[in-house]
Amino acid sequence: MRILVSFIAFLLSLQFLSAKTAIDVIPCPASVVVSEGKLSMAGARCKTDSRLGKTAVAAVKDFEENLFRASTVKKGKSGLVVSFEMASEMSDEEYSISVSEKTVVGKASSLKGVLYAIETMKQMLPVAIYTGAPAPKEDWSLPCVEIKDKPRFAYRGLLLDVSRHFFDVEQVKKYMDFMALHKLNTFHWHLTDDQGWRVEIKKYPELTQKGAVRKETIIGRWADKKGFDGTPYGEGMWYSQEQIREVVDYAASKGIEVIPEIDLPGHMLAALATYPELGCTGGPYEVCRWWGVSKDVLCVGKESTMVFLENVLSEICELFPSKYIHIGGDECPKVRWQSCPHCQAKIRELGYRDDINHTAEHYLQSYVTKRIEDFLATKGKSIIGWDEILEGEVAPDATVMSWRGTKGGIAAARLGHDVIMAPNTYCYFNYYQAKDQSKEPLARGGHTPVSKVYSYEPLPDEMTKEEKSHILGVQACMWSEYITDWGTLEYMLFPRLSALSEVQWCEPENKNYQTFIRKMRHMAKIYEALGCNYSTHIIN
Ligand code: ACM
Ligand code: ZN
């Protein structure tokens, strides 16, 4: 008898396991309880509480339309009404899905919750739901299930560098679709750098004429000594303000906020080449043709440079509704400032001296950061800076983005600053995905396989509860020095983006790398339905 009971329990557990595998959703929802039975979605109509807003209503309509086109069963034919209801007690990004043998109910309190509920449903259906391609033979049913879900971190970001290589509006929108697929909510747009200025500034139109174009581009890496390609790059490769607004609106419809970055006071050669008077030596300068860190940076001893920055940032603030403006601050060598009469006069005026930790020039950079912070505060904006802004004296309200590992982020949280973790060791998608680099597209270096991205824990034990409360979230970065085209970008993004999304979304107890790998089989089908290039190292 005991054996029989055990055998039945074993069979039940098998059934449970097989039912559970139906929920191959990435990132893994916080709570999934599968029960017996299923319900076909073919022929369903969808209904949305209008209090969830017009954009949510439109998103549900889109879902309904694709369900109809892909299942090929007319809307309303089955009599099933999939209803998206307002649940004002839920937090902004929270949602639930409840499927019985007769009903499907999604609940949320905001656009984002609705979008996430739809995304989760889509991942539980055949992949044709993504394209609307007819697939009448597929099983359009959902298992009976109760899903309750919300993210671990409020900030779930992804950076795109469009300076080194440019990606057009349609590609940027596609990037946003990939983010939405994984429930990311923040697009960090790296718009300016040494190798090209890519955002229209009406007051300084030459920035996108002269400053967008480099004479040629280095072939491979410095060490390869392959020279330059002799081909100008960047003519017309910039976004008009109208296009910027179009992207910001598109992002908002996907529940994504766009944070622009104007990297200062280093990484400014494109501006210096346009306006040499912004530099310490007066030039001549050229838009950078190689990858690395330029010694030439903005001359911050001159008041006219600060006026330039304020004018640029005023237009940026008008374009982007985000709370934050990213002001860069990384990799700013101090050698020009050391011998510049303007910068040295400013250092004397402010009374800065070298101390055991920092030079007077580090404090000069802190002065710039603080001035920009104060200026942006008058526009209702807060700043984010790379972890170099901790050198000298960190601006009082700055949020720190930790890229040189996690040390900077931990130190900033200890000082009571908010932090976004983007450690290059786990989150730089321009690093190699495979150990054997010979078969990979040329990349920045490093080795960041999917498993390493997945293993990242943003709240290490060494942090106190109070310090952990300052970690707003996690971001990955796609620097484009070696990412020359869209296909390579997709390859570098997938499947690491899928791994990242579980780091950003899931509580540690809901993360499991083996389960993730299994779920990747379905996600790979989604990549394929969307026509995406992806690395197959973990999928094969
Ligand atoms: C950076 O990678 N320089 C932020
Ligand atoms: Zn100077």
Q: What is the pLDDT of residues 349-388, one digit of tens each?
A: 999 999 999 999 999 999 999 999 999 999 999 999 999 9
450, 413 Cβ separation under 8 angstroms:
no
443, 496 Cβ separation under 8 angstroms:
no
CA of 473 to the centre of ligand 1 (A): 18
Residue 35: per-residue pLDDT: 96
> In whole angstroms, how far apart are CA 252 and each of 6, 149, 185, 279, 324?
53, 21, 9, 37, 15
Burial class, 416, CB count within 10 angstroms (exposed 0-12 / middle 13-18 / buried 19+): exposed
Among 327, 421, 479, residue to substitute to test ligand 1 (most atoms within 8 Å of Cβ): 479
145, 33 Cβ separation under 8 angstroms:
yes
User: What number does the ligand 1 atom closest to the CA of 479 have?
Assistant: 2
Residue 17: pLDDT over 60: no
Starting at the edge strand that comes first in sequence, how are the strands of the sheet with 31-40 ordered?
Answer: 31-40, 141-149, 95-99, 104-108, 81-86, 45-48
User: What number does the ligand 1 atom closest to the CA of 386 have?
Assistant: 4
Ligand in closest contact with the CA of 298: 2
Question: CB within 8 A of 118, min separation 6: which ones?
Answer: 59, 60, 63, 106
pTM of the predicted protein model? 0.95
CA of 301 to the centre of ligand 2 (A): 5
Among 189, 190, 264, 330, residue to substitute to test ligand 1 (most atoms within 8 Å of Cβ): 330
Residue 10: pLDDT over 90: no
Q: What is the pLDDT of residues 459-480, one digit of tens each?
A: 999 999 999 999 999 999 999 9
User: What number does the ligand 1 atom closest to the CA of 331 have?
Assistant: 3
Among 163, 386, 400, residue to substitute to test ligand 1 (most atoms within 8 Å of Cβ): 386
Among 160, 326, 403, 482, residue to substitute to test ligand 1 (most atoms within 8 Å of Cβ): 403
For helices 169-181 and 486-493, the axis angle rounded to 10 degrees is 10
Residue 19: pLDDT over 50: no
Residue 1: per-residue pLDDT: 52
Residue 14: per-residue pLDDT: 45
Secondary element (H or E) of residue 127: none
Tell me how far apart the terminal alpha carbons of the chain are, to the nearest angstrom.
44
Residue 44, Cα to own-chain centre: how many angstroms? 34
Residue 18: pLDDT over 50: no
Write out the E strands in 60-103: 81-86, 95-99
Ligand in closest contact with the CA of 361: 2
Ligand in closest contact with the CA of 272: 2
Cβ–Cβ contacts within 10 Å for residue 442, how many? Answer: 16
The CA distance from 123 to 32, in Å, is 14
Phi, psi of 177 (to 5 degrees): -60, -40
Nearest-CA residue for atom 2 of ligand 1: 403
Q: What is the pLDDT of residues 102-139, one digit of tens each?
A: 999 999 999 999 999 999 999 999 999 999 999 999 99
Ligand 1 cavity residues, CB under 6 Å: 330-331, 386, 403
Handedness of CA 247, 261, 374, 344 (dihedral sign): negative
Phi, psi of 340 (to 5 degrees): -100, 125
CA of 330 to the centre of ligand 1 (A): 6
123, 64 Cβ separation under 8 angstroms:
no
The CA distance from 244 to 164, in Å, is 18
97, 117 Cβ separation under 8 angstroms:
yes
User: What number does the ligand 1 atom closest to the CA of 401 have?
Assistant: 4
CA of 462 to the centre of ligand 1 (A): 25
What six digits make up the tokens of 72?
Answer: 């090929």
CA of 399 to the centre of ligand 1 (A): 15
CA of 123 to the centre of ligand 2 (A): 55
CA of 428 to the centre of ligand 1 (A): 9
Count each helix (H run) and each strand (E run) in the chain, helices first: 18, 16
Q: What share of the chain is helix, strand, coil (3-state, %, to 5)?
A: 40, 20, 40
Residue 3: per-residue pLDDT: 55
What six digits make up the tokens of 140?
Answer: 């359009």
Say whether 190 sits in a helix, a strand or coil.
strand
User: What number does the ligand 1 atom closest to the CA of 477 have?
Assistant: 2
Residues identified as active-site: 193, 267, 331
Residue 7: per-residue pLDDT: 52
Is the omega angle on the peptide bond into residue 276 within 30 degrees of 0, that is, cis? no
Phi, psi of 301 (to 5 degrees): -75, -20
The CA distance from 518 to 508, in Å, is 18
Ligand in closest contact with the CA of 332: 1
The CA distance from 238 to 163, in Å, is 9
Q: What is the pLDDT of residues 158-217, one digit of tens each?
A: 999 999 999 999 999 999 999 999 999 999 999 999 999 999 999 999 999 999 999 999
Question: CB within 8 A of 67, min separation 6: which ones?
Answer: 41, 42, 44, 46, 75, 125, 129, 140
Q: Whose CA is closest to 191, among 135, 247, 252? A: 247
241, 248 Cβ separation under 8 angstroms:
no
Question: CB within 8 A of 43, min separation 6: which ones?
Answer: 71, 73, 74, 75, 76, 77, 78, 79, 80
Residue 4: per-residue pLDDT: 53
Nearest-CA residue for atom 3 of ligand 1: 330
User: What number does the ligand 1 atom closest to the CA of 428 have?
Assistant: 2
Please provide the average confidence, as pLDDT, over all residues in the chain: 95
Which one-letter DSSP state was computed for residue 214?
B
> In whole angstroms, how far apart are CA 111 and each of 88, 114, 167, 192, 475?
12, 5, 28, 31, 22
